[in-house]
Amino acid sequence: MDKLFSRPAGVVFASTIGTAIGITSTIVAILGLVLVPIADEFNLPRSSISLVFFILAICSALIYPVIGTLADKYGARVVILTGHLLFVASLFGVSLARNISEFYLAFVFIGLSGSVLGPILFTKIIAGWFDRFRGFFLGIISGVGYGVGSTLMPIFAVLVLSGHDWRTTYQAIALLVLVIGFPALFFFLRNPPDPLPPKTHMRLKGVAEIPGLTLGQAVKTRAFWMVMLAIAICSGCMLAVFTHIVPILMDRGLPVARATSVLSVFALFTVFGQIGTGFLLDHFRRPNLIAPFFFIPVIGLPLLMQATQTPTLLLSGALMGLGMGTEFGLLPFCLSRYFGLKAYGRISGLVYGIIALTNGFFPVLMDVAFDITGSYVVGINVVTGILVVGTLLIALLPSFSTVSRLYLEPAKQPKMQ
């Protein structure tokens, strides 16, 4: 019972809440619900509205290295608290947009502030608190946070939309993020102590500083580029599908309630994907074992495009959710195990920044393909091919020890007098 209310448990709780109220659940998960109403109000094609994903991507790519560096230098907690309040204000600002230019500007501020509630800082904190079960706890905060947040937020948005417009919906989401997020982050979130407690984080004997590669050393490894490329293209593809499930199914004549249920199942099963990935990596430490899970969405995509029965559609959402959860769950574990924690903020800032670009660019391409062809079939076919390539990259990943040996072995050498 004492462990349940311990400081590490509070950190896990706060980090989970923080990820649950971030951009993924409050923006990505609901934009498909408001895409058509916003496009109709501004009298613009859908691709003009989904362009906000690319705006978010550019802003995230620019700010991720900055917040990673700030967290390495000053600690993640103060950066997260400041960013959270700015994010709340930015969400409310979306509802005040009177034209498409102001709409885009609001999303610039969302991208800059909301990126603070993204994966970099929370995974940095968790990686610093835990070693033995690091993968499991990374899966908890990401899986439960992103999964449950992205499951419940669309339901909340639909309830608000049923009696109000999209502007009121964003105002309600801003209030929810403030009321739920700030108390949890302020009272429970703490930076990892130094020296780290041995029961939660096993320090290497004889190592005076946190072990790990520098950013310059990391980018010279094959693992760095393979992990980044595989997850960049696969997560970009799955995010494009995730954000368009509601329009895809509604264009096929399905009611919004059924489309939203598929979206919610998709989001919910990312929980199992991320937690399962962490559990497997904690026990086997071989990232290429995760490759089959990258292929699972390839089975779900045809079901999404062809099925008419609700159980089959929900199965499609579950398969795709498992795949996307695996992609997001693998990345922070690989970064911490391949390259250590010495420059985790800088390394993850660069990686997540580049991945943010694909996550913003691919959803826009999906709508561009729709505007040109009148359907999402071409986009889904391209996504399927890219997922196969990503699966092959993961299957070829080297073991963690191959890279980590670069900084663990020197620590065992006797100190020169």
Nearest CA to 76 out of 36, 18, 133, 22 is that of 18
Q: What are the φ/ψ torsions at residue 340 (nearest 5 degrees)?
A: 75, -170
**Of 238 and 367, more confident:** 238
pLDDT at residue 183 greater than cutoff 80? yes
Q: Which of 80-84, 104-108, 268-272 has the lowest mean pLDDT?
A: 268-272
**Most confident residue range from 100-104, 139-143, 266-270:** 100-104
State the pLDDT confidence band at 204, using cuts at 50, 70 and 90.
very low
pLDDT at residue 117 greater than cutoff 80? yes
pLDDT at residue 45 greater than cutoff 70? yes
pLDDT at position 5: 46
Domains of the chain as residue ranges with CATH: 3-412 (1.20.1250.20)
Please state whether the peptide bond connecting residue 119 to the residue before it is cis, i.e. omega within 30 degrees of 0: no
Distance, CA of 33 to CA of 146 (rounded, Å): 18
pLDDT at position 414: 38
State the pLDDT confidence band at 406, using cuts at 50, 70 and 90.
low
Nearest CA to 404 out of 211, 210, 206, 127 is that of 211
For the segment 110-114, the average pLDDT, to the nearest whole number, is 90
pLDDT tens figures, 216-227: 888 888 889 999
**Average pLDDT taken over every residue of the chain:** 81
State the pLDDT confidence band at 137, using cuts at 50, 70 and 90.
confident
pLDDT at position 405: 61
> Positive or negative CA dihedral for 366, 368, 369, 370?
positive
Distance, CA of 340 to CA of 50 (rounded, Å): 36
